Amino acid sequence: MKLKEELRCRILSLLAWFLVSVLGSTTRTKVVGFEHVRKLIDSGRGFIMAVWHGRTLLPIHYCRKMGIWAITSLSRDGEIQSRVVRLFGYRTVRGSSFGGAVRAAVAACKKLEEGGILAITPDGPRGPAMEVQEGIVFMARRVKCPIVPIGAAANKGWLMPAWDSFLVPFPFSRCAIVFGEPITLPENQESDDESAELLVKNALDSAQRQAEEIVAGRGG
């Protein structure tokens, strides 16, 4: 990497880390369902934590220093993302393009088989927003591991004008993170990938709705 590009990546990753740290520390966040995560950690079993791409800021901060694995691309943006999450104590598996993505998925499966925790944005990296792509189904079925759906919301924040409407909560806003009941995908062939993707989507949408209801004062 050229010196100019290295400097750019370093500055942007530090700025992003600082922003997430400040916002994560100043919001008033209610957390629901983290006991599901604790039980899976205590069991020593690998599992997937899934959240929609546009709602990752709060969970990234809350789950810092847990040694979670995350898949990031080999692009320049992926390099910045990788550096940011590593600053929060995450570990990364890198991959992009079809071949690289497959290798990254296989490497991630190995981490799951070893009892690791893998963070996934099922609609990433480019959408469509809140639509499950096939990667999470492939990995969950290959390893036969549970998926913890996560929802995150804020009563005041900025939705970035991007494909995922990325949520940036305002400082001191009322926020919620919901860790839903773990789901396990059916192993039999009668349940095709499309049905499995719908199961994951419904679980994520349910956790997201619950988080939104909490910050609106209607739940939790």
Output the average pLDDT for the chain.
93
Domain 26-215 has CATH 3.30.70.260: no
* pLDDT tens string 106-118: 999 999 999 999 9
* pLDDT tens string 124-180: 888 899 999 989 999 999 999 999 999 999 999 999 999 999 999 999 999 999 999
What are the φ and ψ backbone dihedral angles of 4, each rounded to 5 degrees?
-65, -45
Q: Is a pLDDT exceeding 70 seen at residue 96?
A: no
Angle between helices 134-143 and 97-113 (to 10 degrees): 30
* pLDDT tens string 16-39: 999 999 999 999 999 999 999 999
Could you tell me the CA-to-CA distances from 131 to 7, 118, 134, 211 in Å, in that order?
Answer: 35, 19, 10, 18
- Give the least confident one: 62-66, 100-104, 143-147: 100-104
Q: Is a pLDDT exceeding 80 seen at residue 208?
A: yes
- Bridge partner residues of 48 (DSSP): 118, 147
Q: Is a pLDDT exceeding 60 seen at residue 190?
A: no
- Reported confidence tier of residue 75, pLDDT bands at 50, 70, 90: confident
- Reported confidence tier of residue 201, pLDDT bands at 50, 70, 90: very high
- Tell me the average pLDDT across 65-89: 91
What is the three-class DSSP state of 188?
coil
d(CA 51, CA 57): 10
Q: Is a pLDDT exceeding 70 seen at residue 220?
A: no
Task: Label the pairing between strands 91-94 and 28-32.
Answer: unpaired
d(CA 136, CA 9): 28
d(CA 63, CA 84): 13
Q: What is the pLDDT of residue 1?
A: 67
Q: What is the pLDDT of residue 20?
A: 97
Q: What is the pLDDT of residue 191?
A: 60
Can you give the residue ranges of every domain in the chain? Answer: 26-215
